[in-house]
Amino acid sequence: MTDLVAKRYVKALLIDADAKSIAKISKELSLISSAYGENKFNDIITSSEVKNSDKVNFILSLNEKASNTVTNLIKLLGENKRLDIIPSIVEELENQLSIINNDYTGVIYTNKKLKAADIKSIEGQFSKKFEVNLSLKQDVCDYDGIKVDIDGLGVEISFSKDRLRTQMIEHILKAV
């Protein structure tokens, strides 16, 4: 539900805005959004004992140099009692900025560390395939194979040793 509401606010922010101003707004809101990771901050924002105007002033005090757009957005969210959706707004703004700039980030999941040259090669191949600017980060985990996940494009490509083994067994059984 909050994602849908956040998308409406972002849509309003995008009207008559260029990529540079959107990036500035996103950066300012990201600074504010980072406070949402603190329990004390969330307690204040969700408290019914604190007036909405005080919550708005508290949030605005986190970024003294906030632009008029961000200040007005925070005030509007405060009036509508939606200060809790700021992290969702930041996430959606970053997604829209990726689309505008044709810049995407992704994650490579493997069980051992890849060389930087290999990561660059994978980036290059996917950038060429999807005609985007792509940067990949590696997440070393317990995935037995390799999986590339590019969230903004909705792409997930994986190669799993277990799946290959299962498919080979099925193929052999069908042949017999």
Residue 35 has pLDDT above 80, yes or no: yes
pLDDT digit string (tens) for 83-111? 888 899 999 888 888 888 888 888 999 88
Query: Average of pLDDT values for 148-166?
Result: 82
pTM for the full model? 0.73
Torsion angle of C-alpha atoms 87, 157, 159, 109, degrees rounded to 10: -30
Q: CA angle 68-72-74, nearest 5°?
A: 120
Say whether 14 sits in a helix, a strand or coil: helix
DSSP string across 27-83: HHHHHHHGGGGSHHHHHHHH-SSS-HHHHHHHHHHT-TT--HHHHHHHHHHHHTT-G
pLDDT, position 143: 82
Structure-token match 């494009």, residue found? 153
Beta-carbon contacts of residue 32 (< 8 Å; ≥ 6 apart): 59, 62, 63, 66, 70, 74, 86
Residue 134 has pLDDT above 80, yes or no: yes
- DSSP one-letter code for 84: G
Q: In terms of Cα–Cα distance, which of 104, 80, 96, 79 is closest to 29?
A: 96
Quick check: 157 and 150 in contact, CB under 8 A?
no
What is the spatial distance between Cα 107 and Cα 110, in angstroms, rounded to a whole number?
Answer: 10
pLDDT, position 1: 67
Query: Average of pLDDT values for 21-42?
Result: 87
C-alpha to C-alpha distances, 175 to 103, 163, 165, 169, 171, nearest whole angstrom: 46, 18, 15, 10, 6
Higher pLDDT residue, 28 or 1? 28
For the chain, what is the mean pLDDT? 86
